[in-house]
A and B are shown apart, each in its own frame.
Chain A
């Protein structure tokens, strides 16, 4: 203990140096080269988002959303803020649905989980939505 205290000044100087370098590295990492994987994730998300948007155009989906009192405009806005992981989980559910299954049901269920539940304060993914209490 005594020895550490004696060398405290050097230890803290060393620590300060390490911290400073850490910040330099971190900042250069954010503005560094973009890996191929990152671009691919982005593109996959764009594709998923687009296909989800296209599904919103279907009349049955529009109808059900209207029944739930959610406007299409609201839903579209929220789809824009879904993460790649959330979008791909939707694609996954859709792909796993057996042929002939009620696809509209899956779409609406997904929107219900990620969008409408938010209005009921079950989750709080979207800070701009006001809860219905």
Chain B
């Protein structure tokens, strides 16, 4: 008796086996170099953030539970029951990422999304910041979304330590974690008070997070975040501009002028700085200075600014007005 094998079926079977092997090779994750994680005390291989409390999730409620752990670890007094009202959608049996982010902002925290690398995630944990991660526990075509908090790691065992579902201090191998995390597009974020920089903070990304606070009406937190940015990255014009814009929004043109003047002094080629200065000066009743500032903006970027003078406010006693001078022209514009 001979067994006849359909050659076409055989070919398909072989290619499936090969594809599995190849995929397995490609997706084996690397643990980042230990020297990069030198923030861990005396090269310790295992690190656990003990100050992160644990709330076991109730049915489908990983969102409120994870958010509560994140907020509590920053000293905010709240619990999953309270947060459930904010972020849980009973119909969807879960929470949306944007809602968790919005709720953290509503508590005055700056939400800094990480760049999606395992190294950044571990660097943040090593610096003492728990990380909120999104995972897909099933497949791309049949997802089971999940939120958890990474609050430790064991470099020797190649494990991440998470507060997840009903398990506190759950150790997960890097292979399992990466597989589920990658299916959720490596989304991870730290939530910190705006006067603290995340360990992996990158200037523009941080400033965008600060701007998110500004646009969602968390003005004081945003102002603090901009100050933090200016202190740490003196080469970022947006950090000063943000402080000026907030002062302007709050109806303090004099304070706004101070910020914009600092901006134009340090970054004379940023046309937007001159433009905003013109507005705040006009609101103070400084005609000549406002005219000069508007003309500077137009000289640097004529396509964006037309040099028109903003409406001058009629004040009886204008504040002392500065004497301005446009920067020497160069062909580099901003």
Contact = CB atoms under 8 A, between A and B. Distances in A.
Interface of A: 31-40, 42-44, 46-47, 95, 98-99
B248 interface: yes
A34 B272 contact: yes
A34 B270 CA distance: 11
Q: Among B204, B208, B237, B238, which residue has the most Cβ atoms of chain A within 10 A? A: B238
Q: Among A37, A38, A47, which residue has the most Cβ atoms of chain B within 10 A? A: A37
B241 A36 contact: yes
B136 interface: no
Contacts, number: 49
B334 A42 contact: yes
B26 A98 contact: yes
Contacts of B238: 36, 39-40, 43
Nearest to B204: A44
B97 to A, nearest CB: 18
B204 A31 contact: no
A36 B211 contact: yes
B207 interface: yes
25 contacts: A31-B275, A31-B305, A31-B306, A31-B310, A32-B279, A33-B248, A33-B279, A34-B272, A34-B275, A36-B214, A36-B238, A37-B211, A37-B215, A39-B237, A39-B238, A39-B241, A39-B270, A39-B272, A42-B272, A43-B237, A43-B238, A44-B208, A46-B334, A47-B204, A95-B115
A34 B241 CA distance: 9
Interface of B is mostly: helix
A42 B303 CA distance: 14
A34 B204 CA distance: 17
Given A36-B241, A36-B245, 20 more contacts: A31-B275, A31-B305, A31-B306, A31-B308, A32-B279, A34-B276, A35-B245, A36-B238, A36-B242, A38-B272, A39-B238, A39-B270, A39-B272, A40-B211, A40-B238, A42-B272, A42-B334, A43-B204, A43-B238, A95-B115
Contacts of A95: 115-116
A10 to B, nearest CB: 30
Contacts of A42: 272, 334
Interface of A is mostly: helix
A34 B294 CA distance: 13
A40 B306 contact: no
A120 B140 CA distance: 36
A40 B242 CA distance: 10
Interface in B223-277: 237-238, 241-242, 245, 248, 270, 272, 275-276
Contacts of A99: 30
Sort A-B residue pairs by CB-CB distance and give the 6 closest, nearest first: A34-B272, A36-B242, A39-B238, A40-B238, A36-B211, A37-B211
Nearest to B272: A34
Contacts of A36: 207, 211, 214, 238, 241-242, 245
Nearest to B185: A96
A40 B207 contact: yes
Interface in B180-212: 204, 207-208, 211
Contacts of A39: 237-238, 241, 270, 272
B263 to A, nearest CB: 10
